Every structure is written in structure tokens, then in C-alpha cells.
Amino acid sequence: MEALKQKIREEGQVLTETTLKVDSFLNHQVDVSFMTEIGREFQRRFADERITKVITIEASGILPAMATAQALGVPMVFAKKTKTVTQNDEVYVQQVKSFTKGTVYDIKVSKNFIQPEEHILIIDDFLAFGHAVLGLADMIKKSGAHLVGAGIVIEKGFQSGGKILRESGIRVESLAIIEKMSSTGILFKD
């Protein structure tokens, strides 16, 4: 998505070779009309799929997930980050490692909101090591629903998540893939 790459070039701040700050439009202040466009782009990319629901993890995933659900005309669900809870009859629980933050947390989704007959699209703002997407994918698998794929706003192509997800058979559509970045510039794939 050319407009996204341009926005990252203009407004993104490369803090380290692995850390990109995009808080002026994506995950703190939000350029809402641009986010609406991101949703429409995911809708176009997954137009060949029958999608019944969009799923993401709070908090910053909610923005692109909502925009995508609006474009598709389907509901969305956001998994809640939580202190450790026990798997029980009412919720799916999955442990997720955040390499970026050096922490481990649980995510939970009420079983009511992932039904076996559903076709579910995962949306997230960033893809680095892929643990958030894998956690959601495991929940969807447990539920018996069909995972359509994962739509990612910014993929850090120099980290392993994209490779792991694609090799595990998950369709991944990333709107911008960063191959390399430094204080002198950002190199995108393609």
C-alpha cells in the first residue's frame, strides 16, 4: 500500500534498528480517515474470502480491525489482555510472549464469540515475531472455526514472524513490509 509506505517515511521515527515509532497516525494519535482506507485495503485483499468476523488483540489492533470490519460489514472481537486466568468453559485463553516488551501475558476471548461455523480474519497493527497472531490462530483452531488469514498493517520483515506464519500455512497480507531500517532511512520490500 503505497500511501502507507509514504506515511511511514514521512511520519515514522526509527528509534533503533528494530523499533519504529508511528504514534502520530497509527497507535496513539490516529489518522482516522487513513485508518478507514487501511480497512478498505484489507477488504480488497481478502475479497475472495467469505469472512464472518474480524478478530484482534487490544489495544492498538482495535483501530485497523474496526476499520476492516466496517469495510466488510461484519462484527469484530478483540481479545483482552489479562492476568493469568484458568482455561474454563466460558473463555479461550492463550499465552502470548511479547519479545518487544520482554513480557508474557494471557489473552482471552469469550467462547460465545468464536463459533465453529465462522470464517475469521485476524487483523493486527504490527507483525514482529508472530506470537500474537499464533495465539489467536490457536484459539480459532480450538473453536473449530476457519481461519481465513491475517492482515497486518506493518510487518517487520527482518524478524521471524512473517516466515513462521506463512510456513505454517497462514495467508498473511501485510500492507507494508520493512526489510531494513536505520536512522538514515527505511527500506521496504518490493
Which of 42, 46, 78, 92 touches a second copy by CB under 8 A? 78
H/E element, 146:
strand 146-156
CA-to-CA distance for 10 and 144, rounded, in angstroms?
43
| Residue 51 main-chain phi, psi, to 5 deg | -110, 130
For residue 128, say whether it is annotated as part of any ligand binding site.
yes
The single residue listed with the C-alpha cell 493469568 is 84
User: In whole angstroms, how close is the CB of 44 to a second copy at the nearest point?
Assistant: 18
CA-to-CA distance for 176 and 37, rounded, in angstroms?
14
User: In whole angstroms, how close is the CB of 167 to a second copy at the nearest point?
Assistant: 31
Q: What is the 3-state secondary structure (H, E, C) of 31-48?
A: CHHHHHHHHHHHHHHCCC
Q: Which is nearer to a second copy, 64 or 162 (CB)?
A: 64
Residue 107 touches a second copy, criterion: CB under 8 A: no
Per-position x/- string for 112-131, each x denoting binding to a second copy as judged by CB under 8 A, each - no binding: xx------------------
For residue 112, say whether it is annotated as part of any ligand binding site.
no
Binding footprint of a second copy on the chain (CB under 8 A) = 23-24, 28-33, 35-36, 58-60, 62-63, 66-67, 69-70, 73-78, 80, 109-110, 112-113
